[in-house]
């Protein structure tokens, strides 16, 4: 079955540590997205990529970084500069433009 | 500018009774509109989408939504709630083009649906 795989499901970060969240899709979608979800705030866009080797900052990009070296993969690094990283992180993909986005099952990041 | 407002943060219904989740949108052109559902600790699943064809859109699991341009609304309904419908629901507006830091979709803040036995 085609879909989006996020790993790990749960992740813990120590102070001063960078951590990387994985997102892989086999839907052959051009566009990929990272969202952060906090209770009562809906989804906020961190970064998105419309095509390989290109990406744009979303509303809350500070303290995060991404890469898009392959069409299938869009990893998100939560750096030590992100002072409040505890949240549920969702990766999504779409063909392009106004097409619906397909979501992974998320990674829950917590601070140790 | 485009925006979307979900009018209720929490809706509670009894099993077997109708469900109504309200959504208003703002758009300078005919928008694409979506409803997504999220069960606890899961990703979002597309329920239905409106893309300027029929104004009454049928989705999965018995849900449907009606696009009303005059009221700028896209409310989600279901005739009879089931316990498995308990989840959070998001109304989403699609941009015609990517919108800078907001990407191509604008999400409402969500409505949590509780279903009582």
Hey, are the CB atoms on B43 and A4 less than 8 Å from each other? yes
Question: Is residue B2 pLDDT above 90, yes or no?
Answer: no
**Residues in chain A within 8 Å Cβ distance of B41:** 88, 105-106, 108
CA distance B65 to chain A (A): 16
The answer to whether A27 faces chain B, any CB pair under 8 Å, is no
A1-25 confidence digits (pLDDT tens): 679 999 999 999 888 899 999 999 9
How far CA B68 is from CA of A34, B14, B56, B93, in Å, comes to 31, 27, 9, 14
Question: Strand A19-25 vs strand B73-78: parallel, antiparallel, or unpaired?
Answer: unpaired
**Residues in chain A within 8 Å Cβ distance of B100:** 56
B56-74 confidence digits (pLDDT tens): 999 999 999 999 999 999 9
Q: List the A76-78 sheet strands across, edge first.
A: A4-7, A19-25, A76-78, A64-66
Higher pLDDT, residue B2 or B19? B19
DSSP chain B: --EEEES-SEEEEETTS-EEE-EEEE-SS--EEEEEEE-TTS-EEEEEEE-SS-SEEE-GGG-EEEEETTTTEEEEEESS--GGG-EEEEEEEE-SS--GGGTTEEE---EEEEEE-
Question: Strand B56-58 vs strand B3-6: parallel, antiparallel, or unpaired?
Answer: unpaired
Q: CA B98, CA A96: separation in Å to the nearest integer?
A: 9
Hey, are the CB atoms on A58 and B102 less than 8 Å from each other? yes
């Amino acid at each position: 079955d085609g879909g989006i795989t996020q790993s790990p499901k749960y992740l813990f970060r120590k102070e001063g540590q960078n951590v990387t969240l994985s997102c892989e899709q086999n839907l052959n979608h051009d566009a990929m997205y990272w969202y952060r979800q906090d209770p009562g705030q809906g989804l906020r866009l961190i970064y998105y990529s419309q095509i390989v080797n290109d990406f744009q900052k979303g509303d809350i990009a500070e303290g995060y970084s991404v890469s898009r070296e392959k069409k299938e993969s869009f990893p998100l690094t939560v750096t030590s500069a992100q002072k409040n990283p505890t949240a549920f992180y969702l990766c999504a993909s779409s063909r392009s433009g106004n097409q619906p986005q397909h979501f992974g099952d998320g990674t829950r990041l917590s601070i140790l | 500018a485009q925006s979307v407002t979900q009018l209720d943060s929490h809706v509670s219904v009894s099993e077997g009774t109708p469900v109504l989740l309200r959504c208003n949108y703002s758009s300078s052109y005919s928008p694409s509109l979506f409803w997504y559902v999220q069960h606890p600790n899961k990703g979002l699943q597309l329920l239905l989408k409106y893309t300027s064809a029929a104004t009454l859109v049928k989705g999965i699991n018995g849900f449907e939504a009606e696009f009303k341009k005059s009221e700028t609304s896209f409310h989600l309904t279901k005739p009879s709630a089931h316990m498995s419908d308990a989840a959070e629901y998001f109304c989403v507006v699609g941009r015609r083009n990517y919108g800078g830091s907001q990407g191509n979709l604008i999400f409402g803040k969500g409505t949590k649906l509780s279903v009582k036995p």
